[in-house]
Structure 1
Amino acid sequence: MSAKSQKGHTGNGDDPPPGDGVPPAEHPGRGRTREDEVSVLDILLVIARNRAIILGCMVVFGGIAGLYTLSMSETYTAEATVIREGQSASDQVGGQSAALRGLGFDVGGGGGGGLGPGSYPAILNTREVRLAVARDTFSYPDVEEPMTYVDYVNRPTEPSWPDVLLDYTLWLPWTLRDALREMEPVEVDEKSIYPTPEEERAMRAVGGKVETSNEGGFMVISATTDGPEFSAELTKSFIRHLTDRVQDLRTERTQRNLEFVEQKYQEAKRKLEAAEDRLASFLDRNQNIRSAELRNQRDRLQRQVQHQLELYNDWQGQLTQAEIELQRSEPVVTTVEAPVPPSDPDSSRPQLFLIVGLLFGLFLGMAGAFVKAFLRYATDESDEEVQAKVEELKRAFVPGKVRERFGGARKAE
């Protein structure tokens, strides 16, 4: 064989070797191969192979949600449209000085400052309003005698089987949370506990039945219950107690404003009297003023009296306006459209429960499918390092009986 022929067989240092009979995918140290990577096709294949589990979970939990939807009583929503009255420019005192406004003093008669229309939804959901509504008396569709909402929420009742089923399936975390709260010791002391635990429960329940929304310059208040008359009465109660609460806040603020203005008025009065006394004493001591120095002193004292007189008149006018504002009663919430008992029940909530049940079943079924695929992959023969990691994960998260069951099934195959 010639040297050229030998060179063609051996190759030079720059050419790669022709191969050693081992496929490139099996060469150690060359990184992960295409078969080692998890692709979208692998995920879809797992879903396709376990579609029976996924569909079964969706059917089970969708059926539970459907049964609960059928057992639910129909809900009714009553709405009312109101106008939130805010402070107008006419409520400001015309005699308010620019210096006081620059210092940030709101000494005008407008008792609604700081309680603009934007704060009304927050006031509606305060503890004071919800507690007042919970103490009102209503007529309920499932109770013959009218009673307060506190008594209605805390009356002894037997839960229906759909409620029990959902409490220990979909709502299990919240059921455990409520059970832990009931286990906490409660001190029975009427002087220190306000409101009572029964009223707290009623306040939480009634707060979940009312909603607010803004439509242009109007505010829409709606209440959703299982009775049309109850929904309308509850909406009226919220509007009434919202009006009372806003009026109380305005009256409280106006009272503080009146006290502040009266204090400043008395202070201005004392300074005016002191300035007048200094001017009178100076004039008594100097009857015939001829020198320029004495005339300057007299003019200075007169300017002080004039300045204090202007402040006195300003505070006197603001005091009169504050007294009028405290005695004036004006509507803070004007009802444009009063709530009426709705004639048709709501139709969106049953569909929502059914969708939640189907989505929960889908999530649980897919989780079970991937856990099953992982356990099957863990029993396959693979690289020693990968197998060791899988075994550690199995010992940490998979119960022993489950490992034995899937391991035996895989060996039998």
Structure 2
Amino acid sequence: MEIDLISLVTLVWNRRKDVFKITFVFAFLGIVTALISPKEFSATSTFIPQAEESPSSGGALGGLASLAGVNLGSINGGSEISPVLYPKIVSSINFQKALLDAKIRVNGYDSTMTYQEYYNQVHSPGIFDMIKKYTIGLPGIFIKKLKGEPEDLVIQEEDGIIRVSQEEYSHCNRIASQLKIAPNEKEGIVMVSFTMPEPLMAAEMVKFAVDLLQEEIIRFKIKNAKEQLRFTEGQFLEKKKEFEDAQDKLAYFKERNQNLNSEYANNQLDRLQTNYNFNFEVYSELAKQVEQAKLQVAKNTPVFSFIQPVTIPLEKSNLRGSTVLIIFLMIGFSFSIAYIIGTEFLRRRHSK
């Protein structure tokens, strides 16, 4: 089926008034949308997580210790959280609950208030939010009323049980849509952004989120270091006892066989001496590992190296009014062409 472009252009030109009318309607809708759409500002921060180099696991003594049943490599490794897991941390309910207490400054108010207080007392939902709530979200409202959901939600966590109210749960859902974290494994950077109705609030929230994430990483590292210290001290005490036993056996044998010069006695002495040297080297290495583990617990260094610190955004993150208008004009013009072609096709079909 061939398309006659000349006839198509002629048809559109003859019905150009319809094109103007439909495009004008969409342009009006674009202006209204641009005027009533809420303002959104996104503040961002980009950083590089500092990855500690694993200290030597004992060199040649590592193999020696492994023969004794001690894995020296496991003592120092595994103390870092991969940036890939950062989104899991910020999406956890306890992290989001902590964000509810973030202090922010609001235009027109002298004192600061928390994120939760702002959305409970100051922020009023926009027209779009109201339309969305009572159109798309209306079935959900009815379902909640029929189900009679409890006032509090109980969420099982690894370290205990967290109780979340329905109000807090709705705030956490909003935070999940406002807070974005994007780790880039290839470049080794992490970008965190937060969207709020005012630029200063967006900057304060993203800074609070980054600081909170840093605290979580440090807490995890200290927890790991303490566990490593307990493990190393346990291995140290065990090998210390074995070393002291080998030391006592060697001393006892030398004392009982001072004047003996037989091959059997020399062979026994060599065995005891070798066992003593072996336990002494493992014992000495574990003593060093205990001191390293103690230093690791006391270590307190910055976790993030910032490439882009938090700055107050100057422009809206959502579409500009002019961009919205252009989009609606394009949609209106395309719709008018489709409408003219469709109505002409139906007219010709009915006339046959």
TM-score exceeds 0.5:
yes
Deviations 1:280-331 (A, max 9, x none): 3333443322221121111101111110110100110000010011011101
Aligned to 2:282: 311
The 1:348/1:202 distance shift into structure 2, 3 A limit, reads closer
Q: Does 1:345 align with 2:315?
A: yes
Aligned to 1:389: none
Q: Which amino acid aligns with 1:332?
A: V
Aligned to 2:176: 207
Q: Which runs of 5+ in 2 are unaligned?
A: 156-161
Distance 1:104 1:356 in 2: 63
Aligned to 1:98: 62
The 1:67/1:276 distance shift into structure 2, 3 A limit, reads same
Q: Which amino acid aligns with 2:169?
A: E
Aligned to 1:133: 99
Q: Which amino acid aligns with 1:83?
A: I
The 1:128/1:367 distance shift into structure 2, 3 A limit, reads farther
Q: Which runs of 5+ in 1 are unaligned?
A: 1-37, 381-409
Q: Which amino acid aligns with 1:146?
A: T
Aligned to 2:207: 236
Aligned to 2:159: none
Deviations 1:354-377 (A, max 9, x none): 7887899999999999x999x99x
Distance 2:129 2:331 in 1: 17
Distance 1:165 1:62 in 2: 20
Deviations 1:140-170 (A, max 9, x none): 34777632212333449765544434445xx
Distance 1:81 1:238 in 2: 12
The 1:311/1:238 distance shift into structure 2, 3 A limit, reads same
Q: Which has the larger radius of gyration?
A: 1
Distance 1:250 1:362 in 2: 59
| Structure with a larger share of its residues in strand | 2
Distance 1:166 1:61 in 2: 20
Deviations 1:36-72 (A, max 9, x none): xx9999xxx9xx99x9999999887775565233112
Matches within 5 A, 1:329-408: 329-342=300-313, 344-346=314-316, 348-350=318-320
Give 1:86 deviation, angstroms. Answer: 1.2
Aligned to 1:294: 265
The 1:355/1:163 distance shift into structure 2, 3 A limit, reads farther
Q: What count of residue pairs does the alignment treat as equivalent?
A: 332
Distance 1:359 1:278 in 2: 93
Distance 1:164 1:52 in 2: 35
Matches within 5 A, 1:253-332: 253-332=224-303
1:182 to 117, 134, 144: 144
Give 1:83 deviation, angstroms. Answer: 2.9
Q: Which amino acid aligns with 2:38?
A: S
Contact 2:153 2:166 in 1 (8 A): no
Ranked by relative contact order (alpha carbons within 8 Å, sequence separation 6 or more), the top structure is 2
Aligned to 2:113: 147
Deviations 1:59-98 (A, max 9, x none): 8777556523311232222233323211125xx1463643
Please give the TM-score of this superposition, normalised by the length of structure 1: 0.63
The 1:352/1:288 distance shift into structure 2, 3 A limit, reads farther
Q: Which amino acid aligns with 1:175?
A: G
Identical aligned residues as a percent: 23
Q: Which amino acid aligns with 2:74?
A: D
Give 1:345 deviation, angstroms. Answer: 2.2
Contact 2:44 2:206 in 1 (8 A): yes
Distance 1:225 1:158 in 2: 13
Give 1:276 deviation, angstroms. Answer: 1.8
Q: Which amino acid aligns with 2:37?
A: M
Contact 2:154 2:164 in 1 (8 A): no
Distance 1:94 1:220 in 2: 33
2:40 to 72, 75, 80: 75
Please give the TM-score of this superposition, normalised by the length of structure 2: 0.72
Secondary structure of the 1:222 match is: strand
Distance 2:284 2:85 in 1: 35
